[in-house]
Chain A
Amino acid sequence: MERLELELPSARSAAAGGAPVVVGVVASGNLEVLVERGGTPDRCRFEVSTSVHGFGAVWRAVLEDFAARRAVAGLAFSVNDAGATPAVVTLRLEQAAEEFLGAER
């Protein structure tokens, strides 16, 4: 297991509150993403544990792009990865954010 923790600037997310949301599964080539309130009002927190070693730079690039594209400040994402590709990671993060923020409305 390799662990990674990042706090990245992002635009402020929609209203506070909402129960934590989980999307995806820990299965080969897939990942589980839990999203909840956390981090500071102008930053988003990511905790990643992954079964694949040596891809810290790729994770950082994927998460930076995500935080820049989506208004997710004030949220914390816990990622449990079993070798998902960046495409699948991005998709699950989007789904998690949509479900969490959507549920608040």
Chain B
Amino acid sequence: MSTERGRVWDGARRDRRERLERARAVAPERWVEAGRVTALLEAILRPGDRVCLEGDNQKQADALARALARADPARVHDLHLLASVLALPEHVELFERGIARRLDFSFSGPQGLRLAQLVAARRIEIGAIHTYLELYARYFVDLTPRVALVAALEADAEGNLYTGPNTEETPTLVEATAFKDGLVVAQVDRRVERVPRVDVPAGWVDFLTVAPTPSAIEPLFTRDPAMIGEIQILMAMMVVKGIYAEYGVRSLNHGIGFDSAAIELVLPTYAAELGLAGRICEHWAVNPHPTLIPAVESGFVRSVHAFGSELGMEAYVAARPDVFFTGRDGSLRSNRALAQTAGLYACDLFIGSTLQIDLAGNSSTATTSRITGFGGAPNMGSDARGRRHATEAWLRAGREGPPGPGAMPRGRKLVVQLLETFREHMEPAFVERLDAWTVAEKLGWALPPVMIYGDDVTHVVTEEGIANLLLCRTEEERADAIRGVAGYTPVGLSRSRRAVENLRDRGIVRRPADLGIDPRAATRDLLAARSVKDLVRWSGGLYDPPARFRRW
């Protein structure tokens, strides 16, 4: 019938043309002077627009963020901001000035405190806090950006973008915007004759500007081996012997922290002595962080796909193309959406730390004074129920877990929480009730912000031992197993010694001694590198640490 006669089917495309028309007065060319960028944004934005402002874990569209923060709130207001990471003061300023009102994001790191204050003052509406993959997914469903403001390293005259090693999510954001008649504005550090490789083709980009100062990148994932202590080394030994070796973990993702850095640094020593080279830790979804260098050099690591890059690792990565994914120009090609997918579907194990864990194994980094968000851990720290390819580690974890319906053989992702029983200032990491509940109540959220759900966690590792939650068959057993490794925290002290000894007999709780590990053997001598300088040496001088990590 003809009920749809007269309906407009290309409204977004017409709207796009109108916006480009308005932009012409300000920016007759694709390339826009830095001083005209605010005027350009005022011309192409409408109140209430969904605007994706690129803020990745590393790369930030900081010049565009500053230009947007300077816009006239009478013209540009009530924007719906989409951002992976809310990292810059300018991001928060957008809400303080009324330019933006609503926010959908994934991680807020350094701005967590101000964000919580804005929420309390009702200056911001938070749609949801997502995991990375979940947020990208929504860009293609119900949060498609009208305008994307992105960052790259270089562009040629036509507008082909070169991101360098930190490609991260740029192609994903641009794709969602450009193919739904949105507008894409890119800032670059340099305009060049010819880009070394094309990370985003010119046809997907509408406007370009050279940033007044190069986009700043922080060495977020560099951990100085000098800061690793004996307790972390002890836990690393337990993980290597009690989990990686036992299950034969070949593909994995490591969270970022001193605990997991310790594991990386005992691979060439402790794991090699156990004869595990070539048997564990071959394929990684992880950023090329420096503490991985000794494991690469000693032959453990065969491949690495990365979410983003790490400062100082450029020359090292370029010299190891058999290990890292690199472009024809030699530099790393990272991609957060694809590395997250790799971590979710193709890795047998995720290991990470947390701030709090309860007796069901739920873990959270939320505190009442900060809204920090999730990032990627919930994606990689969860069982991929759509997975169908079998590996030794995955099958064994599946066999240990409770049987599925109809006794159907199933595999299971190994999800390990690695934490000391007490954090700094004697804050217990094990709690009866997560602070996440209080946060949700205070802010009126339907969901307490839980990083990893207890039913996804397979092992909890502390200095006291390993609790294997796969082998637990009741909630009580699970709680007893967690109390069994909770040490001298109030939760740990209230355990029944008899119940824990029973779990120990069944191999559900394993102490260092049960694994044949003497805690006194956990010394810094086991670290393949004990300083940043050692890492430089392992890399044959290719790793170029940022100034703050140079102590020589």
Least distance between B268 CB and chain A CB atoms (Å): 24
Of all chain A residues, which has the CB nearest B422?
A85
B473 interface residue, CB < 8 Å from A?
A: no
Q: Are A55 and B426 in contact (CB under 8 A)?
A: yes
Confirm or deny: A98 has a beta carbon within 8 angstroms of a beta carbon on chain B.
yes
B520 touches A94 (CB 8 A): yes
CB of B519 closer than 8 Å to a CB of A: yes
Residues on A with C-beta less than 8 A from B520 are: 91, 94-95, 98
Contact A94 B519 (CB under 8 A): yes
A interface, over-half SS: helix
Flag if B229 contacts A83 (CB, 8 Å).
no
A83 near B487: Cβ-Cβ < 8 Å:
no
How far apart are the CA atoms of A88 and B52 in the complex, in Å?
Answer: 46
Does A6 count as interface, using CB distance less than 8 angstroms? no
In the complex, are the beta carbons of B230 and A83 less than 8 A apart? Answer: no
Of the residues B230, B422, B424, contact of A86 by C-beta under 8 Å: B422
How far apart are the CA atoms of A61 and B487 in the complex, in Å? 10
Is the C-beta of A38 less than 8 angstroms from some C-beta in chain B?
no
Q: Do A83 and B519 contact each other (CB < 8 Å), given the known contacts A58-B488, A62-B488? A: no
CA distance in complex: A98, B488 (Å): 23
A18 within 8 A of B: no
Pairwise interchain contact B463-A87, C-beta atoms closer than 8 A: yes
Chain B residues whose CB sits within 8 angstroms of the CB of A83 once the complex forms: 424-426
Q: Do residues B229 and A86 form an inter-chain contact, with CB atoms below 8 A?
A: no
| A20 beta carbon closer than 8 Å to chain B | no
Q: Is the CB of B493 within 8 A of A91?
A: no
B231 & A85 in contact (Cβ 8 Å cutoff): yes
Q: Indicate whether B420 reaches chain A with its CB closer than 8 angstroms.
A: yes
Give the contacting residue for B231; candidates A55, A57, A87, A95; CB below 8 A: A87
Q: What per-residue 1/0 map shows which CB atoms of B506-526 lie under 8 Å from chain A?
A: 000000000000011010000
Residues of B within 8 A of A98 (CB): 520
Contact in complex: B426, A52 (CB < 8 Å) = yes
B187 within 8 A of A: no
Interface residues of A in 60-97 (CB under 8 A from B): 61-62, 83, 85-88, 91, 94-95
Chain B residues within an 8 Å CB radius of A95 = 520
Give, as a whole number of angstroms, the nearest-CB distance from B307 to chain A: 30
Check B425 against A86 for contact (C-beta < 8 Å).
no
Taking CB atoms and an 8 Å cut-off, the chain A residues in 9-63 that contact chain B are: 29, 52, 55, 57-58, 61-62
Name, among A55, A57, A83, A85, the residue most crowded by chain B CB atoms within 10 Å (CB to CB): A85
In the complex the two chains form, what is the Cα distance from A52 to B424 in whole Å? Answer: 11
A88-B231 CB under 8 A given contacts A29-B424, A83-B425, A83-B426: yes
Select from chain B the residue with minimum beta-carbon distance to A52.
B426
B421 at the interface (CB under 8 A from A): yes
Q: Tell me the minimal C-beta distance from B259 to chain A in angstroms.
A: 12
A58-B488, A58-B493, A88-B229 given. 9 additional CB < 8 A pairs?
A29-B424, A52-B425, A52-B426, A57-B493, A83-B426, A86-B422, A86-B487, A88-B230, A91-B522
* Those 10 A-B pairs whose CB atoms lie nearest each other, nearest first: A87-B463, A85-B422, A86-B488, A87-B231, A58-B488, A61-B488, A52-B426, A91-B230, A86-B487, A62-B488
In the assembled complex, 26 residue pairs joining A and B whose CB atoms fall closer than 8 Å, in A order, are A29-B424, A52-B425, A57-B493, A58-B426, A58-B493, A61-B493, A83-B425, A83-B426, A85-B421, A85-B422, A85-B426, A86-B421, A86-B422, A86-B487, A87-B231, A87-B420, A87-B422, A87-B464, A87-B487, A88-B229, A88-B231, A91-B230, A91-B519, A91-B522, A94-B519, A95-B520
